[in-house]
Structure 1
């Protein structure tokens, strides 16, 4: 590897740190789970989430700046995405709340990704611009893949639940049919019995 290529990779690593995290949490009934990200002015952050199980598959979500002003809020949503560009330095908070449910725990899958702001100037090489575009494309593909995984898990759980209910309903119907047949045989048999009078 030549020194100029190595210097280019080091520069790209310093100028374009894209952070991507995928998480799966369980939010207990009547509880909330909060997370924090330290951002600087013009840093970008996107939180994408989907409820994969529990209750009506809905959850409350909000994202707030360091002064606790809501930058994004979703009430009783099963899936959502909030993107922000930080207007001030500090700790930004995002929370998943299951306080509306007294019984059901919720399983939530979410991704957090962001881009640290680097000022655009005319000295950026075309290769670096292409790498930035590729990084953004990969980020979108990763988000879509994780969304598809959660949907597949949800559909599989629904199919397994339906299969189980159909099985038990069939067993119950078979028991009922045999019970009715036994009762009918006993009842009809009583018509043909000869009653003797002494």
Structure 2
């Protein structure tokens, strides 16, 4: 059974994504507790989770505390609840811990934030999915201009689309091979059945002829 705070976090994440305004979700984690949220990833999809501590929640206000932020830990698990990543967080949004992965198993991937501090913490969680996860800034702004980056972006997107089409063709090929193999088995079974019937009929004719001859009816 899904916990109420998990349902609320998932709902907040879905609202953030469908609005198209931002892909960041702010989650308040009570002292010495844990909160989780989930995101569906298809097979072979690229994904990235980012975590940063916005500050200590006190009387509705936020106060930054680097020491307190180090007592907050994030984990990411796959649909089979296998731990994929775990790291302590910080309050530096520009250098926030991030986990990039390729979904080998389709399903619900869950990220949990555990607050080991004595005061509530507000954590910013960013979820990215698809070809946009690639870090194009690492290509080098001093080498490629805006047009080249757009072309490189389009090239990666087309490669992902081509890979999905190839995967679909491979699945179709496997299904066709299975259907042809089943058809061949049915045809072989039909030939064997006809052969058995023919041999049985021939044996009956020979047996009846020998029987009638033994009775001197022929």
Q: Which structure carries more helix by proportion?
A: 2
Report the TM-score, using the length of structure 1 for normalisation.
0.47
Higher relative contact order (CA 8 A, sep 6+): 1
Report the TM-score, using the length of structure 2 for normalisation.
0.43
